[in-house]
Amino acid sequence: MPLDTFNDRNIENRPGKYYVDGQCLDCDLCRETAPTVFTRFDDEGYSYIAKQPETPEEIEQVLESMEGCCTQAIHDDGDQFDWSSEITLRTIQPTNPNGKSCCSDYGLDAGTTPTSIGGALFKTALRWFKPK
């Protein structure tokens, strides 16, 4: 479970012990409690670790944020994992067993245009991978 949670981390997190995963609801508690550590990703509406805590006061604030997080999206096991590895993107099968697009049953486009479901998944995938 911890590796699954780590792989679900928000890519904007600074590498280190603490990170925020994809369950963040953007409640603002962590940013209010530890404003020097947490920042909001405005485009998607969630928090991430902008700077790993350095002082005892910052660490205490992060621990308070972890305790108060309503979705338990803040974690302290990031130092156990390899931050250089890419986040695994989960893929879906866009067709049903008959080879027909599962989305076409509902009149939806499963292609890769920006307005299609496939395009939306592609745009979401782009935020998970850093350019090298």
* CB-count exposure of residue 67 (10 Å: 0-12, 13-18, 19+): exposed
Q: Do the Cβ atoms of 65 and 13 come closer than 8 Å?
A: no
Tell me, what's the pLDDT at 85?
Answer: 66
Instruction: Write the CB contacts of 30 (distance below 8 Å, at least 6 apart in sequence).
Output: 20, 37, 38, 47, 62, 65, 68, 69, 74
User: Which pTM was predicted?
Assistant: 0.64
In CATH, the architecture of 2-80 is 2-Layer Sandwich (3.30)
Residue of 84 and 128 predicted with greater confidence: 84
Residue 1 one-letter amino acid? M
3-state secondary structure labels for all residues of 67-94: HHCCCCCEECCHHHCCCCCCCCCCCCCC
**Where residue 119 falls among pLDDT bands split at 50, 70, 90?**
very low
The phi, psi pair for 130, rounded to 5°, reads -80, 140
Q: Is 107 left (phi over 0), alpha (psi -120 to 50) or beta?
A: left
Most confident of 1-10, 44-53, 80-89, 102-111: 44-53
Please report the pLDDT score of residue 87 as a whole number.
Answer: 55
> At residue 69, does pLDDT exceed 70?
yes
* Start-end of CATH 3.30.70.20 domains in the chain: 2-80
Are 37 and 49 in contact by the 8 Å Cβ rule? The answer is yes
